[in-house]
Chain A
């Protein structure tokens, strides 16, 4: 099971956090502090796994961002690397070659995508296409609601003119 997902920038700034196991706010801050110290200091050629308080953290660096997932001792580390890559590819497809700024200004979208990918710390969907389709469908629902809203407001404004 994935206990949490962290996106940390090279400067140690948090870009996304998702907790599937209960951690208090204090613990969360501690975890983030400890892990960013541990992971950011590791050299580029080293393996992508860090053992940490009886759990394992699998991380991978994409450009300036570290994608970290914390898993149980007996989970498959290599698979988690694939899950991270899966997530990155979906983000890439959605934003069109994703960069850190996309994830900062549209952080909610990144969360929506993650929610289509993982629930309860388990993988939900192995098809990138399906995730993209589901996100697009929900985005269009939002768009539709927005249009309806604005058309109503134009009607009201015309009526009150």
Chain B
């Protein structure tokens, strides 16, 4: 019975759903239908099973849950008739995917159907298997599929070929069984079989080098001939697409030839002629022809070098690039990216066209073109290209600005020929799209400015002008505020005028205005405001006339709800009021920031693409970090009398730039390599008397981009927010990391160091069936923690399944068990299972370890339990 002929009911349901005016109505209809279907399923209704399943598929497509219908698919598949099987398999493919365990139940039905006498039923089974089989099913049914590759009907052979692709993708080990039957498919005449056969061979090459060698030797010539035949074939209406016979076959053959030719000169040589023919003779006025040309170009670019062919290929791309069709231009850009590694010079010739594509109205094309431009830039063309890009930045779409800005910044940093040009370009970017500029780019800019003493005056004036024009750009404001804080006097006195500059009159109070605006602006974030406070402090000493006004601004911030700002303003205020004698020394100009150290720090974090924003401050190369304690003490202990000059090490320049607010973050960056320094810093913080919880807990938002759970400071940051004591009680894991930290240990408790005193290994437990060895290790810096590696050996001739080791310790110990290496213990000592235990002895030195253990496992499905007590631990653990 046809599931749908009598099925006005399915139509009715679809109509009813379509008639719904609101989502709620639709849900009601679906709910009613689902209820009816569930009822029918419960009654095991046979007559309407197929119709119900069809309805469920429709409901599923609307996005409603339909898992309750999964078993119905299996029942339909198991029935005898073709109509039931057809709908059953369709349901199976729609409602289930490879990760559902129910799918295993269908393996048997599939096996039967693969051997069915009706070829259409075999076809259904192959299709289902090809679309959703899991690795287990692939293993179980691979022999059947392999047999079907030689089936008499070509339509089954082609399905079997695609099904084999799925199987070898799931289980690459099975590839070698398919090599020979796949090679046989390449000699076929039926296009469907050829297409699928070529595809199967291509996929086999991906997973097996053996297959690649075999096909390269045996099949290259056959394939070249096949391609020649299809390229020269007369008009064939069945396969014709826009005047070309079977472009799909063309493309698959070209793709396979590419795989064979890559890295093999002989194979590449064999295919040269036909590639040249395809590249020159294919009509390019229709999409199908262009698809073939595109594939052909990629093949030419990938196989071993043949100069003449490559010229041909680049010319085709040039033609593509000037095509009016956006699709063709898109693929041309795509392919030029690959061509650039082959022939950069040829790609450079198309630079102007590519640059136009950056300004295209189509986001996909813009993105491609921008990436290509980025690759095209070198020292000789950086100036004009950057100018073009920056000009475009003004008019580009908002959503494109982020990408564009990141690329421009990266280009400018990478290729800038001189500092003034770098600073100019960065200022333009900041004024245009400051909100899209990443923090680390601003930091880099500040380092460069700091290192260019002859440009200080020029820069600060340029920034002042830029700020007047576009004060809504956050990053610009930050850099401007920092520079005015440092070089405000140069701004006012027009120090270091360059010839290119127009003179500018700025009064002292104008300069203070900038910082004041930055603080009072609604949209400023915490970092900007904090930087502005520092700038004000610095200006108060540079501009004595504005000192009163600055004090007023600082006093206003005393009421800030943000602790960080409040604390700063209070402390700065006290500097202004009580420590006039040391103020000028305290707020001296920053020492020059060390460029080399900075670029070293950034090397890991900002590679050619600038997209990686997080973790920039974390990737500190070894050895760069100097103790961070001193500058932090500076910053926090502002009332102390001595003012040590900050050293120019990489870790502390961030504090130098940004001041106190970043101190935990920079301590953080310092500690990822040198935990001890971090500890000192923290201890210092804790001991100087400023409320530590305040200064730290106010920072998480600044902190957010850098997360590294492994470093002690990060965990401390998390812990300190409530209170250390409660955190210590919270979890043994966290507690141990605090202990680590205070003891000045290496990062994280998870990495046991093997440099502690050696302890003898012991046989902790031995029965007739099982032996457990314990190996100990301990870090000397933290004697309380012992890491025990337990090795389990099976002494019997049975395999132990579901092997579980449990241990209990008295209260003065804390125990942490890592997962075991396996839960199956092979027989007769032919393999071990290991598991790591970590014991923290709170009575270290007074009591030694003791432990009760229980081991559970299964032999042939029977549970076995063994128990014991271990007293023989070495002393001093």
Within 8 A of B (CB), among A44-102: 45-51, 76-79, 81-83, 86
Task: Provide the residues of chain B in CB contact with A16, threshold 8 Å.
Answer: 61
CA A122 – CA B127 in complex, angstroms?
12
Within 8 A of A (CB), among B238-266: 238-239, 241, 246-249, 251-252, 255
Mark contacts of B90-126 with chain A using CB atoms, 8 A cut-off: 1 yes-contact digit, 0 otherwise: 1001100111000000000000000000001001001
Mark contacts of B272-296 with chain A using CB atoms, 8 A cut-off: 1 yes-contact digit, 0 otherwise: 0000000000000001101100110
The yes or no answer to A155 lying at the interface (CB within 8 A) is no
Within 8 A of A (CB), among B165-195: 165-166, 169, 191-192, 195
Task: Provide the residues of chain A in CB contact with B238, threshold 8 Å.
Answer: 127-130
CA A105 – CA B83 in complex, angstroms?
18
Known: A51-B367, A145-B83. A107 touches B58 (CB 8 A): yes
A79 touches B86 (CB 8 A): no
Within 8 A of B (CB), among A15-59: 15-20, 22-25, 29, 32, 43, 45-51
| Shortest Cβ distance from residue A56 to the other chain B in the assembled complex, whole angstroms | 9
CA A160 – CA B92 in complex, angstroms?
38
The yes or no answer to B326 lying at the interface (CB within 8 A) is yes
Task: Provide the residues of chain B in CB contact with A128, threshold 8 Å.
Answer: 238
| Shortest Cβ distance from residue A15 to the other chain B in the assembled complex, whole angstroms | 8
B81 touches A47 (CB 8 A): no
A78 touches B290 (CB 8 A): yes
A20 touches B131 (CB 8 A): yes
B165 touches A122 (CB 8 A): yes
Known: A14-B61, A82-B241. A143 touches B2 (CB 8 A): yes
Mark contacts of B503-516 with chain A using CB atoms, 8 A cut-off: 1 yes-contact digit, 0 otherwise: 00000000000000
Known: A23-B97, A107-B61. 6 other contacts (CB 8 A): A76-B295, A78-B331, A107-B57, A141-B83, A143-B2, A145-B83
A108 touches B61 (CB 8 A): no
| Shortest Cβ distance from residue B548 to the other chain A in the assembled complex, whole angstroms | 56
Which residue in chain A gives the minimum CB-CB distance to B325? A47
Q: Which residues of A contact B (CB under 8 A)?
A: 14-20, 22-25, 29, 32, 43, 45-51, 76-79, 81-83, 86, 104-105, 107-108, 111-112, 115, 119-120, 122-130, 134, 137-138, 141-143, 145-146, 149-150
Selecting from B155-163, B479-487, B649-657, B700-708, the interface stretch reads B155-163
CA A97 – CA B361 in complex, angstroms?
34
Task: Provide the residues of chain A in CB contact with B1, threshold 8 Å.
Answer: 145-146, 149-150
CA A45 – CA B127 in complex, angstroms?
37
The yes or no answer to B54 lying at the interface (CB within 8 A) is yes
Task: Provide the residues of chain A in CB contact with B61, threshold 8 Å.
Answer: 14-17, 107
| Shortest Cβ distance from residue A8 to the other chain B in the assembled complex, whole angstroms | 11
| Shortest Cβ distance from residue A109 to the other chain B in the assembled complex, whole angstroms | 9
Mark contacts of B290-316 with chain A using CB atoms, 8 A cut-off: 1 yes-contact digit, 0 otherwise: 110011001000000000000000000
CA A143 – CA B4 in complex, angstroms?
11
Which residue in chain A gives the minimum CB-CB distance to B53? A108
The yes or no answer to B18 lying at the interface (CB within 8 A) is yes
| Shortest Cβ distance from residue A45 to the other chain B in the assembled complex, whole angstroms | 7
Task: Provide the residues of chain B in CB contact with A81, threshold 8 Å.
Answer: 287, 291, 327
CA A51 – CA B98 in complex, angstroms?
26
The yes or no answer to B5 lying at the interface (CB within 8 A) is yes
Closest 6 CB pairs of A and B: A78-B291, A47-B326, A119-B162, A119-B130, A120-B166, A46-B362
A119 touches B83 (CB 8 A): no
B162 touches A138 (CB 8 A): no
Task: Provide the residues of chain B in CB contact with A120, threshold 8 Å.
Answer: 130-131, 162-163, 165-166, 169
A115 touches B127 (CB 8 A): yes
The yes or no answer to B751 lying at the interface (CB within 8 A) is no
B120 touches A146 (CB 8 A): no
A47 touches B327 (CB 8 A): yes
A122 touches B191 (CB 8 A): no
Contact of B83 among A51, A104, A129, A142 (CB under 8 A): A142
* B57, B83, B241, B361 pick with most chain A CB within 10 angstroms: B83
- Sample (16) of A-B pairs whose CB atoms are under 8 Å apart: A14-B63, A45-B326, A46-B364, A76-B294, A76-B295, A81-B291, A82-B287, A107-B61, A111-B90, A112-B86, A115-B90, A119-B126, A119-B130, A123-B252, A125-B158, A134-B155
Which residue in chain A gives the minimum CB-CB distance to B290? A78
Task: Provide the residues of chain B in CB contact with A115, threshold 8 Å.
Answer: 90, 93, 127, 131
CA A120 – CA B287 in complex, angstroms?
25
The yes or no answer to B82 lying at the interface (CB within 8 A) is yes
B195 touches A124 (CB 8 A): yes
B86 touches A142 (CB 8 A): yes
Task: Provide the residues of chain B in CB contact with A83, threshold 8 Å.
Answer: 248
CA A120 – CA B145 in complex, angstroms?
14
CA A48 – CA B328 in complex, angstroms?
10
The yes or no answer to B329 lying at the interface (CB within 8 A) is yes
Task: Provide the residues of chain B in CB contact with A130, threshold 8 Å.
Answer: 155, 192, 238
A145 touches B330 (CB 8 A): no
Which residue in chain B gives the minimum CB-CB distance to A47? B326
Task: Provide the residues of chain B in CB contact with A123, threshold 8 Å.
Answer: 195-196, 199, 248, 252
Which residue in chain B gives the minimum CB-CB distance to A126? B248
A76 touches B291 (CB 8 A): yes
CA A126 – CA B291 in complex, angstroms?
15
Known: A82-B291, A104-B14. A138 touches B192 (CB 8 A): no
Which residue in chain B gives the minimum CB-CB distance to A133? B155
CA A32 – CA B62 in complex, angstroms?
11
Known: A47-B365, A107-B61, A119-B159. A126 touches B239 (CB 8 A): yes
The yes or no answer to B87 lying at the interface (CB within 8 A) is yes
Contact of B327 among A22, A23, A77, A141 (CB under 8 A): A77
The yes or no answer to B11 lying at the interface (CB within 8 A) is yes
CA A140 – CA B554 in complex, angstroms?
88
B327 touches A122 (CB 8 A): no
Contact of A22 among B62, B99, B130, B195 (CB under 8 A): B99
A49 touches B195 (CB 8 A): no
Within 8 A of A (CB), among B31-69: 54, 57-58, 61-63, 65
| Shortest Cβ distance from residue A133 to the other chain B in the assembled complex, whole angstroms | 9
A105 touches B11 (CB 8 A): yes
Which residue in chain B gives the minimum CB-CB distance to A83? B248
CA A66 – CA B143 in complex, angstroms?
39
CA A90 – CA B675 in complex, angstroms?
67
Known: A82-B288, A82-B291, A138-B82. A76 touches B251 (CB 8 A): yes
| Shortest Cβ distance from residue B3 to the other chain A in the assembled complex, whole angstroms | 8
CA A65 – CA B97 in complex, angstroms?
26
A142 touches B329 (CB 8 A): no
Which residue in chain B gives the minimum CB-CB distance to A131? B192
Known: A22-B97, A145-B81. A124 touches B131 (CB 8 A): no
CA A115 – CA B295 in complex, angstroms?
26
Known: A47-B364, A124-B158, A124-B195. A142 touches B11 (CB 8 A): no
CA A9 – CA B338 in complex, angstroms?
35
Task: Provide the residues of chain B in CB contact with A23, threshold 8 Å.
Answer: 97
CA A128 – CA B328 in complex, angstroms?
26
CA A20 – CA B128 in complex, angstroms?
11
Task: Provide the residues of chain B in CB contact with A126, threshold 8 Å.
Answer: 191-192, 195, 239, 246, 248-249
CA A128 – CA B241 in complex, angstroms?
11
B127 touches A119 (CB 8 A): yes
A142 touches B2 (CB 8 A): yes
Which residue in chain B gives the minimum CB-CB distance to A153? B1
A119 touches B131 (CB 8 A): yes
Mark contacts of B1-25 with chain A using CB atoms, 8 A cut-off: 1 yes-contact digit, 0 otherwise: 1101100000100100010000000
Contact of B364 among A20, A50, A143 (CB under 8 A): A50
CA A92 – CA B836 in complex, angstroms?
64
Which residue in chain A gives the minimum CB-CB distance to B126? A119
A127 touches B2 (CB 8 A): no
CA A120 – CA B93 in complex, angstroms?
11
Which residue in chain B gives the minimum CB-CB distance to A20? B131
A108 touches B4 (CB 8 A): yes
| Shortest Cβ distance from residue B247 to the other chain A in the assembled complex, whole angstroms | 6
Task: Provide the residues of chain A in CB contact with B65, threshold 8 Å.
Answer: 25
* B130, B290, B361 pick with most chain A CB within 10 angstroms: B130
